[in-house]
């Protein structure tokens, strides 16, 4: 194995190694929760640095060549695993997600007597699955990554095993998750059967022939593609494949919910990029209408239902469905643009940028809920937030910031995320431009329920006997990081530009 | 004093932000320090805005004091500021009303003083920024920056029904502004598609000469129109205004009526007309009809309001109708009148809300029916209130008259019928304002007010300090409207040259 190949796999090796180290340390030195958290967060920070050092990142940062490295290359010159700018961008996102989820979980799990080590290890394994998804160029590798991602997810959802709601949510998540994995696998088998390869590059070649009219689109292949699409739609919780989300989100321990609302979602979008944009690109005009309808229904339904929720976890669950819709607008902008046009890259760039921003602002919002629930017995009803602005000023300011950013009010990072998606959609034009208008109307509707939280925090008095909220150190650190990211990416121009550049180069790596 | 080379515009925008940051570090119990720091910041901002006057050349075309810096080069987004006579007048109006409002909230705001002052100063950043931004993206950001502090000011320090009012205010405004964002991006993109580069795609000075495709113009104008019409507010988008005014604290009402409504009128003149001239002509007849409806409807509804603040709020709908009417007849007198009307309405209505605030501070009530006979116990107050009442109904010699008169003049050129319809409102205006004044000030002291006993005091020196400058300005602009007209003549001419007026065709 050459040096470059080793470097390409190093971040993944580090995360898996860290997960195993956590398991071993827990056996040797049981019940040392703080040690485990410190090692895991330290290890993830090291991983972040390693990813930056390996690259490839824009401006020639990183040891690896700009065009990326392919591993296990076959005779046609395409590999099974690739490390390009897209992989690096996604890896950074995933590791930040893992790090923040970890920081937010410590102070929540401890008072409930839930073990930290198992949580950490499971989370790290899940993230390694996400990283595999971000780098796979073979259907089997992608499926492997997908399962490695979701299986720990089921465990995490049911982590509070004595809690009925948690178990219920986990079972729903597990059943629908396995169901969708099976659908995906079946689609994969059909595609393999009708194209003769599991390699993404080879499938793209066959489909390019179909698109050019050289070969007919056989019924089996079409079915395979449809099943793959359905499987992925389940994973990103697009309407009408979203039914598992609210229960799974509400039942899971709050930090887990935070993770579930971003980790698997961004990972599934990584799968979409690797699968749809890479393999199915020749047929994109055919799946464009599907994406448009999916985006429109997903954001609209997600928002409409979120408006009526009184439980904040459920509200954030439905709103995360809406955000899926916004990200799909980016995909639609890509699919609707002429092949090779700048609009194509812009759609993907917007999707990636949105995903990254959404990750930490949504995690931050869940972290505020988790911090509030640190003392067991506090419900996630929105009424728990009454008077929070006075009871816990830091939490109030942070939550307000995340709510404004999720709404898309400038100058937060969330605003730029929405702006990029709209630029891309308008750029592509046609029905996709209509999606941009629909998206903005949705954002206005979303303002209602996001600002409602602010109303409770600042405009209603705390109930009598409300106890002060104490925030743990880990949570405080995580909140400061995610709030700082939300503000800095919005306010400091060089940072905004740098993140946009990273997303752009990552998108170009795919085209 | 040589001020060339100093980034005065950046200074005037961000001075309040510095004040807000300073206040954030003041301990909560030091309330006096917080108050004076806020007032001091607002006064410094006011002083900086006055510094703009000596160096401003009213005869020059284009923008002055321009500052440019790259912001997000990938999309050609710039930090670009500049001002012409129209923005100058409105910036000074903003800085004036801001310090007056902060002073006026010294007494009434008792809880969470620190947060109030911070919100208020950030609000000032947004308002001034909107008037000075020459990059559409930057403009949009300032436009939204205005939203959040106002949302908090109404929602936290407002009346009983404040949460409903503030959410309504935010949602109305957001729907308009988010669609405007789509339109801004679409316009920038179409510029990029035509020139092949993002450079200057958000630059107002580049875009206004660009000549957008007619369909895009029509749609983008619609989106901009919605955002601005909600802000003005034009009939039928005005329903948030009475709610917001009734619930807002006095300082919030003053700024809402005095500056926030002007953001809409300014947006029409600065962006809508020069960017989409062709669409402006297509939309103008509809807008003129809506303006006429607003003028009359606002006045009629104001007549029957039982609540003082609601009455003033509906009178705003009526008065702002003159502004949109004056703008959309595309004719010099009309547009100059519209701008004068914006400034004078800002001063007079702001003052009327202060007057209502004075009563409310003493009675904790605003119901007209409970008032009566204020002339005897509070003669100074009665005189000041009367002065602004007369100014508001357009008494010649006071500020309110000239603007309306110029709009009439312009409208008469375009359509005598429309002018006749609009002039009815002068009678209506006199009716509802004088009737209100009569019920509140004249006659026997009402039982309700008698019950207050010695609490019913005349205006305090502090209240006098807030009202006197507004009296002076009302008189000054009434007697010498040239003070403003000289500044706005040139930019109005430029806007009209781009939009191509006057409006012709069938009068509505």
Query: pLDDT for A88-106, tens place per residue?
Result: 999 999 999 999 999 988 8
Reported as a single tens digit per residue, the pLDDT across A379-425 is: 778 888 888 888 888 888 899 999 999 998 888 899 999 989 998 89
**Residues B98-104, mean pLDDT to the nearest whole number:** 90
Mean pLDDT (chain A, rounded): 87
Q: What's phi and psi for A136, nearest 5 deg?
A: -80, 140
Domain ranges of chain B: 277-508
Phi, psi of B458 (to 5 degrees): -75, 175
> Does the structure show a pLDDT above 70 at B505?
no
Q: Which residue among B73, B171, B179 places its CB closest to the CB of A440?
A: B179
pLDDT confidence of residue A358: 94
Q: Do A441 and B152 touch (CB under 8 A)?
A: no
State which residue of chain B sits closest to A341, comparing Cα positions: B193
pLDDT of residue A266 exceeding 90, the answer is yes
Tens digit of each residue's pLDDT (9 = 90 or more) over B45-79: 999 998 888 888 888 888 888 888 888 887 888 88
- Nearest by Cα to A97 from A54, A137, A55, A153: A153
Residue of A nearest to B184 (CA): A423
pLDDT band at residue B1 under the 50/70/90 scheme:
very low
Reply yes or no: is the peptide bond before residue B502 cis, omega within 30 of 0: yes
Which residues, in sequence order, are bridge partners of residue A71? A81
Is B224 touching A (CB cutoff 8 A)? no
Q: What is the predicted pLDDT for the residue at B209?
A: 79
Assess A220–B contact: CB distance below 8 Å, yes or no.
Answer: no
Q: Check if the beta carbon of residue A380 is closer than 8 Å to that of residue A373.
A: yes
pLDDT (average), residues A30-58? 87
Q: What is the pLDDT of residue B2?
A: 53
Question: Using an 8 Å Cβ cutoff, are A303 and A446 in contact?
Answer: yes
Q: Which pLDDT band, with edges at 50, 70 and 90, does A510 fall under?
A: confident
Tell me how close the Cα of B122 comes to any Cα of chain A, in angstroms. Answer: 13
Which of B477, B227, B440 is CA-nearest to residue B343? Answer: B477
- Three-class DSSP category at A210: helix
pLDDT digits (tens, 9 = 90+) for B280-326: 888 888 998 899 899 888 888 988 888 888 888 898 898 898 899 88
CB–CB contact B181 A448 (8 Å): no
Nearest C-alpha of chain B: how many angstroms from A419? 8
Task: Summarize pLDDT for B402-428 with one digit per residue, the tens.
Answer: 888 888 888 888 888 888 888 888 888
Give, rounded to a whole angstrom, the gap between the first and last alpha carbons of chain B.
Answer: 53
The answer to whether the CB atoms of A426 and B185 lie below 8 A apart is yes
Residue pair B334/B327 in contact by the 8 Å Cβ criterion: yes
Angle among Cα B143, B224, B408 to the nearest 5 degrees reads 100
| pLDDT at residue B350 tops 80 | yes
Residue of A nearest to B175 (CA): A444
Instruction: Determine whether the interchain pair A455/B186 forms a contact, defined as Cβ–Cβ distance below 8 Å.
Output: no
B259: DSSP letter: I
Average confidence (pLDDT) over A488-493: 87
Q: How close B186 comes to chain A (CA, Å)?
A: 6
Out of B156, B175, B181, closest to residue A422 by CB: B181
Bridge partners (DSSP) of residue B69 are B79
B486 vs B41: CA distance, rounded Å: 29
User: Does the distance separating the beta carbons of B170 and A440 come in below 8 Å?
Assistant: no
**Are the beta carbons of A415 and B144 separated by less than 8 Å?**
yes
* Residue B307 β-bridge partners: B367
**How far apart are alpha carbons A36 and A425 in whole angstroms?**
45
Indicate if the pLDDT at residue B234 is higher than 50.
Answer: yes
Q: How far apart are CA A281 and CA A348, in angstroms?
A: 13
Chain A nearest C-alpha distance from B268 (Å): 21
What is the model's pLDDT at position B502? 67
For chain A, give the percent of residues with pLDDT over 90.
26
End-to-end CA distance of chain A: 27
Q: What is the pTM of this model?
A: 0.87
Whether B74 and A433 lie within 8 Å, measured CB to CB: no
The SS3 of residue A199 is strand
Residue A356 has pLDDT above 70, yes or no: yes
Tell me, what's the pLDDT at A323? 93
Q: ipTM of the predicted structure?
A: 0.80
What is the percentage of chain B residues whose pLDDT exceeds 70?
Answer: 97
DSSP H/E element including B64: strand B64-72
Nearest to B144 among A410, A455, A497 (CB): A410
Cβ-based burial of A393 (10 A; exposed 0-12, middle 13-18, buried ≥19):
exposed
Smallest CA–CA distance, residue B73 to chain A, in Å, is 8
Q: At what angle do helices A85-109 and A116-135 cross, to 10 degrees?
A: 170
Question: How many beta-carbon pairs under 8 angstroms link A with B?
Answer: 80
Residue ranges per domain, chain A?
A: 284-511
B144 touches chain A (CB under 8 A): yes
Judge whether A377 is closer than 8 Å to chain B, CB to CB: no
Q: Is A83 helix (H, G, I), strand (E, B) or coil?
A: strand
CB atoms within 10 A of CB A216: 10
Q: What is the mean pLDDT of residues A327-350?
A: 87
The whole-angstrom separation of Cα B102 and Cα B113 is 11
φ, ψ dihedrals at A138, nearest 5°: -145, 135
Looking at the predicted structure, is the pLDDT value of residue B506 above 60? no
Q: Look at A437 and B182 and tell me if their CB atoms are within 8 Å.
A: yes
* Bond preceding residue A56 cis, omega within 30 of 0: yes
Which residue out of A399, A434, A440 would a mutagenesis test of the B interface target, given it has the greatest number of B Cβ atoms within 10 Å?
A440
Asked if B279 contacts B504 with a C-beta cutoff of 8 angstroms, the reply is no
Q: Which stretch of A398-402, B259-263, B394-398 has the lowest confidence by average pLDDT? A: B394-398
Task: Say how far apart CA B292 and CA B300 lie, in whole Å.
Answer: 12
Give the containing element (helix H, strand E) for B38: helix B31-51
Segment among A75-79, A231-235, A272-276 with least mean pLDDT: A75-79
User: Phi, psi at residue A58, to the nearest 5°?
Assistant: -60, 155
The interface residues of chain A toward chain B in range 392-411, judged by CB-CB distance below 8 A, are 404, 408-411
B424 touches chain A (CB under 8 A): no
DSSP B503: -
Confidence of residue A46 (pLDDT cuts 50, 70, 90): very high
């Amino acid at each position: 194995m050459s040096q470059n190949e080793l470097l390409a796999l190093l971040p993944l090796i580090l995360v898996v190694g860290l997960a195993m180290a956590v398991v071993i340390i827990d056996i040797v030195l049981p019940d040392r929760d703080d040690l485990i958290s410190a090692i895991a967060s330290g290890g993830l920070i090291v991983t972040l640095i390693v990813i930056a050092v390996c690259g490839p990142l824009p401006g020639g940062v990183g040891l690896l060549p700009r065009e990326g490295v392919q591993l296990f290359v076959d005779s046609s010159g395409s590999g099974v695993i690739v490390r390009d700018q897209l992989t690096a961008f996604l890896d950074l996102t995933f590791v930040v997600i893992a790090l923040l989820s970890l920081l937010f979980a410590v102070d929540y799990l401890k008072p409930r007597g839930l073990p930290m080590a198992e949580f950490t290890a499971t989370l790290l394994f899940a993230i390694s699955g996400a990283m595999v998804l971000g780098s796979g160029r073979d259907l089997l590798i992608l499926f492997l990554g997908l399962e490695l991602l979701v299986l720990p997810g089921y465990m995490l959802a049911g982590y509070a095993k004595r809690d009925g709601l948690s178990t219920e949510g986990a079972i729903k998540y597990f059943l629908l998750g396995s169901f969708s994995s099976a659908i995906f696998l079946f689609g994969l088998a059909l595609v393999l059967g009708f194209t003769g390869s599991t390699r993404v590059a080879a499938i793209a070649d066959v489909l390019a022939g179909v698109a050019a009219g050289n070969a007919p689109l056989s019924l089996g292949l079409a079915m395979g593609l449809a099943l793959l699409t359905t499987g992925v739609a389940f994973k990103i919780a697009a309407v009408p494949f979203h039914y598992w989300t609210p229960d799974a989100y509400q039942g899971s321990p709050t930090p887990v919910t935070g993770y579930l609302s971003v980790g698997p979602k961004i990972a599934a979008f990584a799968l979409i990029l690797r699968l749809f944009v890479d393999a199915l690109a020749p047929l994109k005009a055919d799946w464009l209408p599907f994406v448009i309808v999916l985006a429109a229904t997903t954001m609209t339904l997600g928002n409409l239902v979120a408006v009526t929720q009184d439980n904040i976890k459920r509200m954030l669950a439905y709103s995360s469905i809406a955000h899926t819709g916004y990200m799909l607008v980016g995909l639609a902008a890509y699919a609707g643009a002429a092949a090779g046009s700048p609009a194509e890259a812009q759609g993907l760039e917007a999707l990636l940028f949105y995903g990254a921003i959404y990750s930490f602002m949504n995690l931050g919002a869940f972290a505020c809920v988790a911090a509030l629930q640190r003392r067991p017995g506090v419900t996630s009803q929105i009424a728990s937030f009454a008077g929070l602005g006075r009871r816990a000023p830091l939490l109030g300011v942070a939550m307000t910031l995340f709510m404004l950013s999720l709404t898309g009010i400038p100058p937060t990072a969330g605003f730029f995320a929405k702006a990029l998606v709209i630029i891309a959609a308008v750029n592509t034009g046609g029905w996709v431009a209509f999606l941009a208008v629909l998206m903005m109307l949705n954002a206005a509707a979303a303002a209602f329920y996001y600002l409602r939280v602010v109303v409770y925090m600042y405009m209603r008095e705390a109930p009598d006997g409300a106890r002060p909220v104490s925030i743990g150190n880990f949570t405080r650190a995580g909140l400061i990081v995610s709030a700082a990211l939300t503000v800095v990416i919005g306010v400091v121009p060089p940072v905004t530009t740098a993140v946009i550049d990273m997303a752009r180069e990552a998108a170009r790596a795919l085209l | 004093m040589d001020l060339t080379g100093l980034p005065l515009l950046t200074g005037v925008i961000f001075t309040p932000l510095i004040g807000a940051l300073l206040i954030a570090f003041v301990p909560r119990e030091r309330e006096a320090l917080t108050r004076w720091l806020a007032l001091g910041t607002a006064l410094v901002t006011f002083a900086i805005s006055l510094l703009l006057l000596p160096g401003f050349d009213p005869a020059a075309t284009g923008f002055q004091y321009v500052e440019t810096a790259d912001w997000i080069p990938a999309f050609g987004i710039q930090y670009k500021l500049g001002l012409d006579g129209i923005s100058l007048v409105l910036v000074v109006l903003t800085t004036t009303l801001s310090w007056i409002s902060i002073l006026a909230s010294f007494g009434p705001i008792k809880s969470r003083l620190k947060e109030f002052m911070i919100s208020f100063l950030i609000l000032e950043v947004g308002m001034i920024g909107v008037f000075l931004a020459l990059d559409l993206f930057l403009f949009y950001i300032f436009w939204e920056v205005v939203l959040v502090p106002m949302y908090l000011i109404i929602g936290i320090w407002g009346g009983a029904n404040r949460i409903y009012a503030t959410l309504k205010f935010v949602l109305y405004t957001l729907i308009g502004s988010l669609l405007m964002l789509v339109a801004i991006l679409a316009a920038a993109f179409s510029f990029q598609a035509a020139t092949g580069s993002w450079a200057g795609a958000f630059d107002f000075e580049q875009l206004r000469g660009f000549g957008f495709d007619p369909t895009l113009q029509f749609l983008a104008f619609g989106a901009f129109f919605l955002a601005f019409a909600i802000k003005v507010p034009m009939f039928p988008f005005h329903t948030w205004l009475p709610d917001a005014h009734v619930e807002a604290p006095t300082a919030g009402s003053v700024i809402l009526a005095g500056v926030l409504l002007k953001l809409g009128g300014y947006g029409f003149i600065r962006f809508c007309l020069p960017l989409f001239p062709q669409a402006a002509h297509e939309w103008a007849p509809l807008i003129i009809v809506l303006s006429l409806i607003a003028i009359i409807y606002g006045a009629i509804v104001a007549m029957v309001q039982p609540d003082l603040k609601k009455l003033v709020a509906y009178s705003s709908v009526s008065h702002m109708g003159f502004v949109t009417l004056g703008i959309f007849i595309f004719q010099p007198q009309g547009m100059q009148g519209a701008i004068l009307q914006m400034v004078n309405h800002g001063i007079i209505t702001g003052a009327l809300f202060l007057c209502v605030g004075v009563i409310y501070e003493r009675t904790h009530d605003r119901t007209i029916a409970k008032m009566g006979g204020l002339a005897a116990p509070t003669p100074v107050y009665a005189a000041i209130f009367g002065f602004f009442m007369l100014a508001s109904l357009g008494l010649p010699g006071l500020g309110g008259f000239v603007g309306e008169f110029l709009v009439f003049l312009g409208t008469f050129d375009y359509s005598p019928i429309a002018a006749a319809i609009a002039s009815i409102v002068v009678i209506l205006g006199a009716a509802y304002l004088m009737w209100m004044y009569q019920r509140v000030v004249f006659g026997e002291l009402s039982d309700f007010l008698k019950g207050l006993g010695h609490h019913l005091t005349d205006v305090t020196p502090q209240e006098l300090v807030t009202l006197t400058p507004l009296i002076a300005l009302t008189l000054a602009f009434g007697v010498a409207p040239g003070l403003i007209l000289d500044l706005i003549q040139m930019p109005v001419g430029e806007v009209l040259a781009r939009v191509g007026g006057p409006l012709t065709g069938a009068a509505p």
